[in-house]
Amino acid sequence: MLHICRAFCSLTIPRFELIAEISSPAMNLSSTVSVEAEPYVYEFNPTQTALLIIDMQRDFLEPGGFGEMLGNDVSRLRRTIEPNQKLLTAWRASGLQVIHTREGHRPDLSDLPPSKKQRGRSTISIGDPGPMGRILVRGEAGHDIIPELYPLRSEPVVDKPGKGAFFGTDLHAILQNRGIQKLVVTGVTTEVCVNTTVREANDRGYECLVLEDCVGSYFPEFQDMGLRMIKAQGGIFGWVSHSDRLLTALGENTPAPRTPA
Ligand code: C5J
């Protein structure tokens, strides 16, 4: 545990975060964790695996946000909050690495392709004033991550202009510099940013586990198909499981506390 903190925590991390990580229950970081998954068991080494939480942003998830304004039922995304919180708490307590992403653009919109701005022919689009500030613009309230899953200062937040988290970002460099080879992927939406990111990751050699209860779509059929496409053909893009299975596997990897003699 301690060597993880030494290796990955920068000097800017508040002391209380370091103490929280060091004093958390000791997980056996050197042994492989096996998770029941489809199409077959997913195995990972905790020190080489990051939890990647995609776009859990207020504008997508909160009532009154941009997503709801477009007529979407945000409860379909909000059901992912609780399992993500539970997983994030356990993952942090084990001293493992977490990375968050946000979809959005520079305030001058210089990184917004005109095609993305115009797509949908909506009367209100990216960069326009919305219910929680300018829509999908960095620094605006709606662009930020929901409070329930708010990043710690030690956790990188990758701001991405596209649907995939690798396009136009330093995510690959961050993962390489930290020795990450595998990703547990959660967030929204299943068929858009989660799927695109998993495909990008797969092409770069990362092995992804997607947790069905921790990813969400406004459309039930896309949720189903988005997951089926990942695990099809022997796991063409990755693996699919449930957070309960991952939590069980993490628990099995944490030695039971020794009882005093
Ligand atoms: C994400 C979107 N995050 N659906 N964005 O999936 O436009």
Rounded distance from Cα 190 to ligand 1 centre (Å): 8
Rounded distance from Cα 164 to ligand 1 centre (Å): 9
Q: What is the DSSP letter of 191?
A: I
18 pLDDT higher than 80? no
Nearest-5° Cα angle at 14, 8 to 20: 75
Atom in ligand 1 nearest the alpha carbon of residue 196: 6
3 pLDDT higher than 50? no
Q: pTM to 2 decimals?
A: 0.89
**CB contact at 8 A, 211 and 83:** yes
Cβ burial of 78 (10 Å; 0-12, 13-18, 19+) is middle
Cβ burial of 201 (10 Å; 0-12, 13-18, 19+) is buried
Kindly list the protein residues whose Cβ atom lies closer than 6 A to any atom of ligand 1.
Answer: 55, 103, 188-189, 192-193
Predicted pLDDT of residue 257:
67
Cis bond upstream, residue 257 (ω within 30): no
* Backbone conformation region of residue 133, classed left if phi is above 0, alpha if psi is from -120 to 50, else beta: left
Bridge partners, residue 103, by sequence: 160
Rounded distance from Cα 48 to ligand 1 centre (Å): 27
Query: Which residue out of 55, 59, 144, 159 is catalytically annotated?
Result: 55
Q: What is the pLDDT of residues 27-47, one digit of tens each?
A: 788 899 999 999 999 999 999
Q: Amino acid letter at 235?
A: G
Atom in ligand 1 nearest the alpha carbon of residue 187: 3
Residue 134 backbone phi and psi in degrees, to 5? -65, 135
Residue 208 backbone phi and psi in degrees, to 5? -110, 135
Cβ burial of 178 (10 Å; 0-12, 13-18, 19+) is middle
Alpha-carbon distance of 252 to 171, in angstroms, equals 30
Pocket test for ligand 1, best of 66, 112, 189, 217 (most atoms within 8 A of CB): 189
55 tagged catalytic: yes
Bridge partners, residue 99, by sequence: 52
Q: What angle do helix axes 81-93 and 243-252 make, rounded to 10 degrees?
A: 20
Contact residues for 106 (Cβ-Cβ < 8 A; gap 6+): 112, 137, 138
Nearest-5° Cα angle at 196, 124 to 222: 75
Give the confidence band of 14 by pLDDT, cuts at 50, 70, 90.
Answer: very low
170 tagged catalytic: no
Tokens of 54: 């995609």
Pocket test for ligand 1, best of 103, 195, 215 (most atoms within 8 A of CB): 103
Q: What is the pLDDT of residues 223-252, one digit of tens each?
A: 999 999 999 999 999 999 999 999 999 998
Query: Which residue out of 59, 160, 163, 231 is catalytically annotated?
Result: 160
Predicted pLDDT of residue 200:
99
161 pLDDT higher than 70? yes
Nearest of 79, 37, 47, 98 to residue 248 by alpha carbon: 37
**CB contact at 8 A, 67 and 61:** yes
Q: Amino acid letter at 150?
A: Y
7 pLDDT higher than 60? no
Task: Take atom 1 of ligand 1 and give the residue whose Cα is closest.
Answer: 193
